[in-house]
């Protein structure tokens, strides 16, 4: 099967050009100047399918490097399965996800990874890979890290938060970072001071402060900035490259910037919720509404300027990329677990479907350039997590993961049941985007076009990743 995407503007992280994209089978065969001929023949005549992208952008498929499909968490499990979550991703122009396989204290890392492979295999609409959560750092799990690279898992996540669940103390973090420095793995860190947060949670609840808003009060920015600093110092000491996930506090970005100015391999991701939503308007919504917006790190105060600072960090490259931390829970039966006690609200927001659109809106409003949009949603995730060349770029030999994006189109997000995530609400309901995902190709197959959805479970394949291609 050959496909020619004609008439569009091909956008990369470094520029834009009028070009036609020829797809042969699962890969990109050529990027051609418009109207190119082959031995005197019009290319469009010889191909099996022509996609007209006139007036539209042709960009590499989105890579969401932080999702939690089916994650057992907070006394329940994230409501998107690999099937429903990757279908929603495809609808939104994301053609690769990197989810988190989980190892808990007392479990074998190999078993946790095998369990995630079993959940995802044959279910995914788009390509997928895994980071490894190590929730119990001990001699066995450290030894198990040796084989991760061979499995194509080149990044792992530690938690300074959630004592009793995924938490690692500083001694465990130090040992895991020493190991990762040896192996060249990327350490991903949930940087919040969990034990101190737990004290504040207990005190707030004792004062009768039980509303969702107090989730944000307990998880104060100092808790994030302190943990970020500590992680950076442990990374500096050990030489382990560090990637801080879901950064939301401007003081945490400042810590990243200081470390990067020193030349340290320190990186940060933020998420759409930290760019658009706030403590006051969303976590502080009337009644129990704020539960929809409970996630960790929490939404931050707009009065304190965190959201503007996240956009600035994306412009200055103190933050390198945007993932969703997609971890959806329904209000009914899930978020509801925390009525009368904010600490029992399962943590997470669902956004996997909307990341490309939400970040494109940043182009419309002038927060980022068109090229930066491609960079933070696709090219850098590919480089950061060892997939670049195959993913994150429109070039001969790359997988034909391509999105045709219409800047004249319009997307009303999450009104009624217009989203495809397995959730009974959306944190993004009412958001209007001046752009539209028109066509989505994954490895040469059209998953989405104006006629609707053509994907299927099992099309998506596991991507074995190499070491990070982003290190200084």
Residues numbered 51 to 110 that lie near ligand URP (CB under 6 A) are: 68
- Which listed option, Zn ion, ligand URP, none, makes contact with residue 406 (CB within 5 to 8 Å by class)? Zn ion
Which is it for strands 94-103 and 62-67: parallel, antiparallel or unpaired? Answer: parallel
- What x/- string results for residues 162 through 201 when contact with Zn ion is judged by CB under 5 A? ----------------------------x-----------
Q: Which of 347, 380, 426, 442 binds ligand URP (CB under 6 A)?
A: 347
Pick the closer one to Zn ion by CB: 325 or 353. Answer: 325
Q: How far is the CB of 296 from ligand URP (least distance, A)?
A: 4
Nearer to Zn ion, 124 or 352 (CB): 352
User: Is the CB of 109 or the CB of 247 nearer to ligand URP?
Assistant: 247
Question: What is the rounded distance in angstroms from the CA atom of residue 14 to the CA atom of residue 266?
Answer: 22
Query: In this complex, which beta carbon is closest to Zn ion, that of residue 135 or of residue 455?
Result: 135
Q: Which is nearer to ligand URP, 87 or 190 (CB)?
A: 190
| Chain-centre distance for alpha carbon 81 | 16
Omega cis (within 30) before 241: no
Given ligand URP, Zn ion, none, residue 295, with its beta carbon under 5 to 8 Å by kind, binds ligand URP
Residue nearest to ligand URP (CB): 347
Q: Is 436 in the site for Zn ion (CB under 5 A)?
A: yes
Which residues, in sequence order, are CB contacts of 294 under 8 Å at separation 6+?
A: 212, 215, 283, 335, 338, 342, 345, 346, 347, 348
246 binds ligand URP (CB under 6 A): yes
Q: Which of 442, 463, 461 is nearest to 26 (CA)?
A: 442
Contacting residue, 80, 99, 211, 325, with ligand URP by CB under 6 A: 325
CA–CA gap between residue 20 and residue 247 (Å, rounded): 38
Q: Which does 347 bind (CB under 5 to 8 A by kind): ligand URP, Zn ion, none?
A: ligand URP
Contact stretch for Zn ion (CB under 5 A) within 145-153, 177-185, 218-226, 431-439: 431-439
Nearest to 376 by CA among 445, 310, 441: 310
Nearest to 349 by CA among 417, 287, 286, 299: 299
Cα–Cα distance between 186 and 192 in angstroms, integer?
19
Strands 402-406 and 57-60, bridge-based pairing: antiparallel
Q: Contacts by 39-44 with C-beta closer than 8 Å and gap 24+?
A: 43/4, 44/4, 44/6
260 makes contact, choosing from ligand URP, Zn ion, none, with CB < 5 to 8 Å by partner type, with: none
Q: Can you give the binding site for Zn ion, defined by CB under 5 A? A: 190, 325, 406, 409, 436, 438
Q: Can you give the binding site for ligand URP, defined by CB under 6 A? A: 68, 190, 246, 295-296, 325, 327, 347-348
């Amino acid at each position: 099967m050959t496909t020619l995407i004609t008439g569009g503007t091909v956008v990369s992280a470094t520029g834009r050009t009028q070009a036609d994209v020829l797809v042969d089978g699962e890969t990109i065969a050529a990027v051609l100047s418009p109207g190119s001929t082959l031995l005197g023949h019009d290319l469009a005549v010889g191909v099996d399918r022509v996609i007209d992208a006139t007036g539209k952008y042709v960009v590499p498929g989105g890579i969401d490097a932080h999702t939690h499909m089916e994650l057992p968490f907070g006394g329940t499990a994230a409501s998107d399965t690999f099937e429903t979550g990757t279908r929603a991703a495809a609808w939104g122009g994301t053609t690769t996800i990197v989810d988190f396989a989980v190892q808990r204290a007392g479990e074998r890392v190999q078993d946790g990874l095998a369990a995630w492979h079993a959940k995802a295999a044959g279910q995914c609409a788009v390509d997928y890979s895994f980071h490894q959560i190590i929730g119990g750092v001990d001699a066995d799990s450290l030894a198990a890290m040796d084989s991760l690279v061979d499995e194509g898992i080149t990044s792992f996540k530690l938690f300074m938060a959630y004592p009793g669940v995924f938490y690692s103390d500083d001694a465990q973090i130090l040992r895991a970072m020493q190991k990762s420095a040896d192996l060249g793995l990327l350490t991903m860190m949930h940087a919040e001071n969990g034990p101190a947060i737990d004290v504040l949670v207990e005190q707030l609840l004792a004062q009768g402060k039980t509303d969702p808003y107090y989730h944000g009060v307990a998880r104060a920015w100092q808790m994030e900035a302190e943990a970020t600093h500590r992680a950076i110092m442990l990374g500096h000491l050990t030489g382990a490259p560090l990637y801080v996930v879901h950064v939301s506090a401007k003081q945490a970005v400042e810590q990243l910037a200081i470390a990067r100015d020193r030349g340290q391999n320190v990186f940060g991701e933020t998420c759409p919720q930290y760019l658009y939503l706030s403590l006051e308007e969303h976590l502080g919504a009337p009644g129990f509404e704020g539960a929809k917006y409970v996630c960790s790190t929490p939404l931050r105060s707009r009065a304190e300027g965190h959201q503007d600072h996240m956009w600035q960090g994306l412009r200055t490259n103190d933050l390198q990329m945007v993932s969703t931390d997609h971890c959806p829970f329904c209000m009914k039966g899930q978020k509801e677990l925390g009525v009368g006690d904010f600490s029992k609200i399962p943590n997470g927001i669902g956004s996997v479907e909307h990341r490309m659109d939400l970040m494109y809106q940043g182009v419309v409003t002038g927060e980022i350039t068109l090229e930066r949009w491609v960079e933070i949603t696709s090219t850098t995730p590919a480089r950061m997590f060892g997939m670049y060349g195959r993913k994150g770029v429109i070039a001969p030999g790359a997988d034909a993961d391509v999105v045709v994006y219409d800047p004249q189109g319009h997307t009303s997000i999450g009104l009624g049941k217009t989203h495809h995530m397995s959730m009974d609400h959306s944190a993004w309901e009412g958001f209007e985007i001046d752009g539209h995902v028109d066509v989505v190709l994954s490895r040469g197959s059209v998953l989405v076009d104006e006629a609707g959805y053509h994907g299927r479970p099992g099309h998506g394949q596991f991507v074995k990743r190499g070491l990070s291609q982003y290190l200084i």
